[in-house]
Structure 1
Amino acid sequence: MAELRIPFFRPAIDDDDIAAVAETLRSGWLTSGPNVREFERELAAACGAPFVNAVNSCTAALHLCLRAWDIGPGDEVIVPAYTFSATATVVVHTGARPVLVDVRERDANLDPAAFERAITPRTKAVIPVHFAGEPCDMDAILAIARPRGIRVLEDAAHAIGAAYRGRPIGSIGDATAFSFYATKNITTGEGGALATADQALSDRVRVLTLHGMTKDAWNRYDAGGSWRYDIVEFGFKDNLTDLAAALGRRQLAKLDRLTEARTRIAMRYVANLRDEPLLTLPAFDEANRHAWHLFMVRVDNQRSPVQRDDVIRRLAERGIGTSVHFIPLHYHTAYRKLGYQPGDFPVSERIFDGAISLPMFPAMTDADVDFVCENLRDILRTAA
Structure 2
Amino acid sequence: MPASPIQLSDTWFDAREGERISAALQGRVAGNGPFCRKVEDRLAQLLGGGRVLLTTSCTHAMELALLALGIGAGQEVVCPSFTFVSTANAILRVGARPVFADIEDQTLGLDPADVERRLGPRTAALLPVHYAGIAPDMDRLLALARGHGLKVVEDAAHGLGASYRGRPLGTLGEAGCFSFHETKNVTCGEGGALAVRDPALADRAEVIREKGTNRSAFLRGEVDKYTWVAEGSSYVLSDVLAAMLDAQLDKLEEIQARRARVAGRYLAELSSWAAARGARLSRPPADRQGNDHLFYVLLPDPSTRDRCLARLRAQGVMAAFHYVPLHSSPHGRRLGPAVELPVTDRVAASLLRLPLHPRLTEEDVDRVVGALKQALA
* TM-score for the superposition, normalised by structure 2: 0.94
Q: How many Å separate the matches in 1 of 2:337 and 2:205?
A: 31
Q: Contact 1:48–1:170 (CA<8 Å) still a contact in 2? A: no
**Distance of aligned partners of 1:155 and 1:206 in 2 relative to their CA distance in 1, 3 Å threshold:** same
Q: Aligned residue for 1:355?
A: 351
Say how many residue pairs are matched.
Answer: 373
Q: How far is the alpha carbon of 1:340 from its aligned partner?
A: 4.7
| Separation (CA, whole Å) in 2 of partners of 1:94 and 1:50 | 24
Q: Which amino acid aligns with 1:328?
A: P
* CA displacement at 1:28 relative to structure 2: 4.5
For 2:114, the equivalent position in structure 1 comes to 114
Query: How do 1:90-129 residues align onto structure 2 when only pairs under 5 Å count?
Result: 90-129=90-129
The runs of 5 or more residues in structure 2 that have no matched partner are none
Higher mean C-alpha displacement, 141-150 vs 274-283: 274-283
After alignment, is 30-39 or 369-378 more displaced? 30-39
Separation of aligned partners in 2, 1:151 and 1:351: 28
Structure 1 residue 145: Cα displacement: 1.0
Taking a change above 3 Å as real, the CA distance of residues 97 and 225 of structure 1, as seen in their structure-2 partners, is closer
Query: Is the 2:210–2:216 contact (alpha carbons within 8 Å) kept by the matching residues of 1?
Result: no
User: In the alignment, which residue of structure 2 is the partner of 1:324?
Assistant: 321
CA 1:248/1:142 → structure 2, altered by over 3 Å: closer, same or farther? same
Aligned ranges 1:287-302 → 2 under 5 Å: 287-301=287-301
Is the Cα–Cα contact under 8 Å of residues 107 and 284 in structure 1 kept in the other structure?
A: yes
Give the C-alpha shift of residue 244 in structure 1: 0.8
Pair 1:165–1:240, CA change in 2 (3 A): same
Is 1:260–2:246 an aligned residue pair? no
SS at match of 1:73: coil
| 2:145 matches 1:145 | yes
CA contact (8 A) 2:206 2:216 kept: no
5+ residue gaps, structure 1, are none
Deviation string 1:293-331 (CA, Å, 9 cap, x unpaired) is 1111122237xxx63223222212211112222111112
Corresponding residue for residue 344 of structure 1 = 340
2:211–2:232 CA contact under 8 A, matched in 1: yes
Is 2:222 the partner of 1:232?
Answer: no
Q: How many Å separate the matches in 2 of 1:327 and 1:33?
A: 38
1-structure distance, mates of 2:6, 2:218: 44
User: Is contact 2:160–2:178 with CA below 8 Å preserved after alignment?
Assistant: yes
Q: Which amino acid aligns with 2:356?
A: M
Contact 1:272/1:370 (8 A) holds in 2: no
Aligned to 2:170: 170
When the two chains are superposed, the root-mean-square deviation of aligned CA atoms in Å is 2.0
> Which amino acid letter does the alignment assign opposite residue 204 of structure 2?
R
User: CA offset at residue 122 of structure 1?
Assistant: 1.3
Amino acid paired to 1:76: E
Q: What does residue 159 of structure 2 align with?
A: 159
Residue of structure 2 equivalent to 1:366 = 362
Deviation for aligned residue 1:38: 0.9
Counterparts of 2:308 and 2:111 in 1: how far apart (Å)? 29
CA contact (8 A) 1:49 1:171 kept: no
Equivalent position of 1:335 in the other structure? 332
- Cα distance change of structure 1 residues 267 and 66 upon mapping to structure 2, 3 Å threshold: same
Partner of 1:88: 88
Work out whether residues 330 and 340 of structure 1, in 8 Å CA contact, stay in contact via their aligned partners in 2: no
Q: Is the 8 A contact 1:49 1:195 kept in 2?
A: no
Instruction: Give, as a single letter, the amino acid of the residue that structure 1 aligns with 2:24.
Output: T
Which digits, 9 at most, give the CA deviation of each residue in 1:241-284, with x for residues without a partner? 10111111121222222122212211211111112233221231
* SS of residue paired to 1:274: helix
Q: Is residue 108–residue 136 contact of structure 2 (8 Å, CA) maintained in 1?
A: no
1:287 Cα deviation after fit: 2.1
- Residue-by-residue CA offset, 1:15-38 (whole Å, 9 max, x unaligned): 112211122113343443111111
Partner of 1:44: 44
Q: Secondary structure at the match of 2:234?
A: coil
Asked whether the equivalents of residues 49 and 170 of structure 1 are also in contact (C-alpha less than 8 Å), the reply is: no
Percent identical pairs in the alignment equals: 39
* Residue aligning to 1:245: 242
User: Structure 1: which 4+ aligned runs deviate by more than 6 Å?
Assistant: none
Aligned residue in 1 for 2:79 = 79
Residue 139 of structure 1 and its aligned partner are, at CA, apart by 1.2
Rate the CA distance shift 1:196–1:230 in 2: closer, same or farther, 3 A: same
Tell me the residue number matched to 2:371: 375
Instruction: Sort the Cα spacing of 1:173 and 1:297 in 2 relative to 1 into closer, same or farther, 3 A.
Output: same
2: CA distance between counterparts of 1:300 and 1:230?
A: 59
For 2:234 and 2:60, how far apart are their aligned partners in 1? 9
Between 1:283-292 and 1:69-78, the stretch displaced more is: 283-292
In structure 2, what is the Cα distance between the partners aligned to 1:3 and 1:327?
Answer: 31
* TM-score w.r.t. length of structure 1: 0.92
